[in-house]
């Protein structure tokens, strides 16, 4: 039984159909990646799963529960977190407040405190800047904060939307190391990436999304070696 099962999902923006009935699944413990060009519908897919966009048709089953029509705060409470595209940290709030918001649905105050200390151990720069306004952090630091914020919720499934966007090559590698590390700690990951090369390398399975429809799927290695995929997404 898959942890997340998306069936025939259709989403419209007005009269424009952004998702034309896509189906995919993510099993417990996997890293699954959705690759595709800009405008293919990757971000729409993630936002629909977490309840920010209502689909016109189709279903989203998570942990054997239908979450298609659930409000987003209940979806988050059931164990799905998201690192959104463009990070969307709260620029006007402090690093500490951002992390506290990540733990918004956590009840155990002591555990929240420990979690924050763990974040500061892992990313000392965030600890040094805990009272600083998050908007003043560098792009890389903001990405670390966005990932840490999502982890504060102790997600079962973490959806990451373009986590490497706008980062230097060194930081991109670091981000992918962190993703692997989170996965090895038991977090299931759904990854949307423009950096198809690196995404396919760490992914157990992958789907290719083209203008709102899934056109290919397979293991990361299979897709990475397919000539069409290489041509379209991996620069030959």
Partner 1 sequence: MAVAINGLSLGAIYALIALGYTMVYGIAKMLNFAHGDVIMVGAYIIYTMCMFTWNIGSMPIWLSSLISFVVAMAVCTCLGIVIEKVAYKPLRGASPLAALITAIGVSYLLQGIAQLIWGADQRTISILDRLGTVNLGSYVIKWSAIITVVVGAIIMVCLVMFIKKTRTGRAMLAVSEDKGAAQMMGVNVNAIVSITFAIGSGLATFASMFYLPITSVSPTLGAMPGIKAFAAAVIGGIGSIPGAMLGGVLLGVVEVVCNSISAVASYTTAIEFALLIIILLVRPIGLLGKKRRIKV
Residues at the site binding partner 1, with contacts judged by CB under 8 A:
47, 50-52, 71-73, 76-77, 81-82, 84, 86, 88-93, 97, 100-102, 104-105, 135, 149, 153
- CB-nearer residue toward partner 1: 64 or 92: 92
We find the least distance from the C-beta atom of residue 179 to partner 1, in angstroms, to be 18
Q: Check: CB of residue 159 under 8 Å from CB of residue 80.
A: yes
Strand ranges across the sheet with 31-35: 80-83, 157-161, 188-193, 31-35, 205-210, 213-219
* Distance of closest approach, residue 6 Cβ to partner 1, in angstroms: 18
- 86 vs 124, beta carbon nearer partner 1: 86
Q: How far is the CB of 102 from partner 1 (least distance, A)?
A: 6
Give the nearer residue to partner 1 in terms of CB position, either 69 or 231: 69
Q: Where are the beta strands (DSSP E) in the chain?
A: 4-13, 16-26, 31-35, 57-62, 65-66, 80-83, 157-161, 188-193, 205-210, 213-219
Those residues with Cβ within 8 angstroms of residue 128's Cβ, 6 or more apart along the chain or in another chain: none
> Residue 188's beta-bridge partner residues?
157
Nearest approach, Cβ of residue 152 and partner 1 (Å): 9
Of 18 and 206, which has the nearer Cβ to partner 1?
18
């Amino acid at each position: 039984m898959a942890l997340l099962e998306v069936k025939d999902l259709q989403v419209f923006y007005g009269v424009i159909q952004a998702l034309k009935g896509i189906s995919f699944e993510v099993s417990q413990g996997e890293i699954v990646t959705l690759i595709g060009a800009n405008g293919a519908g990757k971000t729409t897919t993630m936002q629909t799963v977490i309840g920010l966009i209502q689909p016109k048709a189709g279903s989203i089953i998570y942990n054997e529960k239908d979450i298609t029509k659930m409000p987003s705060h209940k979806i988050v409470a059931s164990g799905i977190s998201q690192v959104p595209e463009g990070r969307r940290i709260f620029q006007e709030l402090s690093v500490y407040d951002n992390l506290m918001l990540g733990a918004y649905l956590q009840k155990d105050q002591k555990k929240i405190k420990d979690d924050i200390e763990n974040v500061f151990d892992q990313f000392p720069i965030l600890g040094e800047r805990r009272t600083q306004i998050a908007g003043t952090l560098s792009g890389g630091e903001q990405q670390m904060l966005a990932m840490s914020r999502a982890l504060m919720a102790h997600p079962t499934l973490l959806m990451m939307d373009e986590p490497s966007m706008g980062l230097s090559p060194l930081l991109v590698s670091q981000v992918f190391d962190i993703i692997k590390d989170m996965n090895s700690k038991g977090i299931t990951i759904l990854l949307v990436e423009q950096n198809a090369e690196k995404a396919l390398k760490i992914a157990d399975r992958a789907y290719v999304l083209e203008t709102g429809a899934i056109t290919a799927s397979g293991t990361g290695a299979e897709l990475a070696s397919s000539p069409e995929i290489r041509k379209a997404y991996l620069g030959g």
